[in-house]
């Protein structure tokens, strides 16, 4: 009987293609490009800090204090959002800093996040001790929902952003709204932590997780990885996943033995503490490694990136003068009270995501080898998987420009208003007012803010073009008829995305 490969090879090919057997397999070859070599935890001081059970607690504690202060002052403090510490710190500083952490480090914010941190303390019934019995039901997240991967958290991010826009929370508007939003997030986190096991909320639901995970893959911290994958293969205990006396099993369901990016490492250090072989370390990597190098591209991540791209384009467009008439017309037609109309909100996002999908489809249709066969990665490429084979690499390549676009969106609030945090702090103690010189002090003029935004986007665009060139060379060229054509087409798309974002920033005139 003919083997599958022979059957496929005998199918008529529209253009000749050389069938190649998969290249050398094995751990070394599979992970060579993703395995970082620079280990931070080789330094004795770093190793001691990471082994200490108070490591993550001490990261979370200061944020926990700020977080409860934000809630209290948002509810009880002044109604002036520029002078209220809750709104000032959240919208003028915090969101921007989270983006800096993502781009430079990865999931640094997740390591110190008060939402997940607070819920985890309750779930574990401890601030930092290793307890053996968790509070709550400890259920597994339903498999059909888990299959949505990064798409489910994008849906919760879209809902949260729509609510935020509808009530003008991040404007910033009424300070109490900011408090209620934060209370809503931590309540949802607590509920999930008490119903489901580990950090199900962080992995499958948190509105921020897709954004932090994808944009964070640009960062230079590879996360906690295994030192020798062969040791993991023969390891009998798998304590990094199951937990030991010294540490919890990975709260993020990530096995260091197979991790090839920093996407799902919450930098909690539990695997470092629990591995009995001392086979886990904290590693650094070159920027963009977790975007370019992984061989396993996930379709849920690709859709997550495409939808996030649609959202940021919507936010940019709604800051231009062309947007209001569209939204007003839709609201009067659909009898919706005010901005943002859900139809144009979801419509824009869908269009943005569809453009990424449509371009991927068109590139696949235009360049894919029409013969069927083994490709260099050892996967089959047939017509039904053609879209997936092109969509995932194209979407991953856009991560740097999508990340840069979100970061540039935060700049006006930071550069125009961050100094207000000082009078807002003074106001807690009964000093200061809107007459403080820092209340109306901007770090930059609007003209320079636009220049900075465009520069940030262009930097992201250059990184996206580079990432796309590398990804296309490794993953699309082997399945394409025209090696140069497929690279040029995908890189041109990345450049066009960046050009569109930069152009919108010019039109926005530093509007936030």
C-alpha–C-alpha distance, residues 377 and 367, integer Å: 18
Nearer to ligand SF4, 99 or 252 (CB): 252
238 binds ligand SF4 (CB under 6 A): yes
Give the residue, chosen from 232, 302, 418, 450, that forms a contact with ligand SF4 under the rule CB under 6 A. 232
How many distinct helices (H) and strands (E) make up the chain?
25, 5
Minimum distance, C-beta of residue 84 to ligand SF4, in the bound complex (Å): 23
C-alpha–C-alpha distance, residues 151 and 204, integer Å: 9
Q: Which window, 174-182, 206-214, 333-341, 433-441, contacts ligand SF4 (CB under 6 A)?
A: 206-214
Nearer to ligand SF4, 115 or 414 (CB): 115
C-alpha–C-alpha distance, residues 108 and 103, integer Å: 10
Minimum distance, C-beta of residue 358 to ligand SF4, in the bound complex (Å): 30
Nearer to ligand SF4, 250 or 504 (CB): 250
C-alpha–C-alpha distance, residues 371 and 9, integer Å: 8
Minimum distance, C-beta of residue 498 to ligand SF4, in the bound complex (Å): 27
Pick from 448, 456, 471, 461: nearest CA to 498: 461
Do residues 357 and 306 touch, judged by C-beta distance below 8 A? yes
Minimum distance, C-beta of residue 274 to ligand SF4, in the bound complex (Å): 7
Nearer to ligand SF4, 200 or 369 (CB): 200
Radius of gyration for the alpha carbons in the chain, expressed in angstroms and rounded? 24
- Scan residues 134-193 and list those touching ligand SF4 (CB under 6 A): 189
Give the residue, chosen from 70, 93, 134, 202, that forms a contact with ligand SF4 under the rule CB under 6 A. 202
Give the residue, chosen from 85, 92, 150, 224, that forms a contact with ligand SF4 under the rule CB under 6 A. 224
208 binds ligand SF4 (CB under 6 A): yes
C-alpha–C-alpha distance, residues 216 and 403, integer Å: 8
Minimum distance, C-beta of residue 247 to ligand SF4, in the bound complex (Å): 8
Pick from 389, 390, 385, 303: nearest CA to 352: 303
Minimum distance, C-beta of residue 223 to ligand SF4, in the bound complex (Å): 6
105 binds ligand SF4 (CB under 6 A): no
101 binds ligand SF4 (CB under 6 A): no
110 binds ligand SF4 (CB under 6 A): yes
Nearer to ligand SF4, 210 or 318 (CB): 210
Do residues 299 and 309 touch, judged by C-beta distance below 8 A? no
Nearer to ligand SF4, 271 or 508 (CB): 271
Q: What is the DSSP string of 340-392?
A: SPHHHHHHHHHHHHHHHHHHHHHHHHHHB-SS-EE-TTS-EE-HHHHHHHHHH
Nearer to ligand SF4, 252 or 348 (CB): 252
Nearer to ligand SF4, 86 or 207 (CB): 207
Minimum distance, C-beta of residue 282 to ligand SF4, in the bound complex (Å): 8
Residue that the structure tokens 């520029």 belong to: 82
CA 22 vs CA 4, 80, 87, 106, 384: distances in Å: 14, 64, 55, 32, 21
Do residues 122 and 190 touch, judged by C-beta distance below 8 A? yes
By three-state DSSP, how is residue 226 classified? strand
Give the residue, chosen from 136, 223, 423, 460, that forms a contact with ligand SF4 under the rule CB under 6 A. 223
CA 504 vs CA 43, 239, 256, 415: distances in Å: 46, 50, 41, 19
- Scan residues 408-467 and list those touching ligand SF4 (CB under 6 A): none
* Total interface residues for ligand SF4 by CB under 6 A: 37
- Scan residues 115-134 and list those touching ligand SF4 (CB under 6 A): 115-116
User: Cα–chain-centroid distance for residue 39?
Assistant: 24
Binding marks (x or -) toward ligand SF4, 252..291, rule CB under 6 A?
A: x-x-xx-------xxxxxxx---x-x-xx-----------
Nearer to ligand SF4, 23 or 237 (CB): 237
Q: Which window, 130-138, 222-230, 334-342, 350-358, contacts ligand SF4 (CB under 6 A)?
A: 222-230
Binding marks (x or -) toward ligand SF4, 350..389, rule CB under 6 A?
A: ----------------------------------------
Pick from 241, 225, 243: nearest CA to 124: 243
Longest dimension (CA), the chain: 86
Minimum distance, C-beta of residue 82 to ligand SF4, in the bound complex (Å): 26
Pick from 346, 360, 253, 344: nearest CA to 302: 360
Which residues make Cβ contacts (< 8 Å) with residue 132, sequence separation at least 6? none
> Rule CB under 6 A: which residues touch ligand SF4?
109-110, 113, 115-116, 189, 202, 206, 208-209, 212, 223-224, 226, 231-232, 235, 237-240, 250, 252, 254, 256-257, 265-271, 275, 277, 279-280
């Amino acid at each position: 009987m003919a083997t599958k490969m022979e059957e496929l090879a005998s199918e008529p090919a529209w253009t000749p293609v050389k069938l190649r057997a998969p290249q050398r397999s094995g751990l070394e070859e599979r992970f060579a490009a993703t395995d970082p070599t620079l280990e931070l935890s080789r330094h004795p001081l770093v190793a001691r800090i990471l082994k200490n059970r108070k490591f993550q607690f001490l990261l979370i504690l200061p944020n926990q204090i700020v977080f409860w202060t934000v809630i209290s002052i948002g509810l009880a403090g002044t109604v002036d959002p520029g002078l209220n510490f809750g709104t000032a710190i959240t919208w003028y500083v915090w969101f921007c800093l989270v983006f800096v952490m993502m781009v430079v480090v990865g999931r640094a914010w997740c390591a110190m996040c008060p939402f997940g941190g607070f819920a985890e303390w309750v779930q574990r019934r401890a601030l930092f001790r290793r307890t053996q019995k968790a509070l709550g039901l400890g259920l597994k997240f339903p498999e059909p929902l888990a299959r949505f991967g990064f798409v489910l958290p994008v849906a919760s991010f879209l809902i949260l952003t729509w609510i935020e826009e509808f009530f003008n929370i991040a404007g910033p508007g009424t300070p109490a709204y900011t408090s209620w939003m934060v209370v809503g997030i931590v309540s949802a986190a607590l509920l999930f932590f008490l119903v489901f096991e580990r950090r199900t909320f962080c992995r499958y639901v948190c509105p921020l997780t897709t954004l932090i995970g994808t944009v964070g893959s640009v960062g230079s911290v590879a996360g906690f990885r295994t030192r020798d994958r062969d040791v993991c293969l023969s390891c009998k205990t798998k304590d990094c996943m199951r937990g030991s006396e010294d540490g919890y099993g990975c709260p993020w369901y990530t096995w260091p033995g197979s991790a090839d990016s920093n996407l799902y490492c919450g930098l909690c250090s539990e695997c470092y503490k629990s591995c009995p072989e001392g086979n886990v370390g904290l590693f650094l990597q070159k920027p963009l490694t977790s975007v370019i190098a992984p061989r396993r591209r996930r379709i849920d991540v690709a859709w997550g990136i495409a939808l996030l791209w649609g959202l940021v384009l919507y936010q940019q467009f709604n800051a231009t003068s062309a947007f209001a008439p569209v939204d007003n017309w839709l609201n009067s037609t659909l009898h919706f009270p005010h901005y943002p109309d859900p139809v144009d909100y979801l419509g824009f996002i869908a269009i943005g995501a569809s453009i990424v999908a449509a371009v991927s489809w068109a590139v696949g249709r235009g360049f894919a080898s029409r013969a069927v066969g083994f490709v260099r990665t050892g996967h089959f490429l047939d017509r039904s998987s053609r879209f997936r084979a092109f969509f995932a690499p194209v979407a991953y390549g856009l991560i740097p420009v999508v990340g840069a676009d979100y970061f540039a969106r935060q700049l006006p609030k930071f550069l125009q208003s961050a100094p207000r945090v000082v009078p807002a702090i003074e106001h807690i103690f009964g000093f200061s007012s809107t007459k403080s010189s820092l209340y109306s002090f901007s770090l930059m003029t609007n003209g320079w803010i636009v220049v900075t935004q465009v520069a940030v986007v262009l930097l992201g665009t250059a990184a996206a073009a580079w990432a796309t060139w590398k990804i296309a060379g490794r993953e699309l060229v082997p399945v394409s008829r025209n090696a140069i054509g497929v690279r040029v087409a995908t890189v041109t798309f990345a450049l066009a995305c960046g050009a569109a974002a930069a152009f919108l920033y010019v039109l926005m005139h530093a509007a936030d």
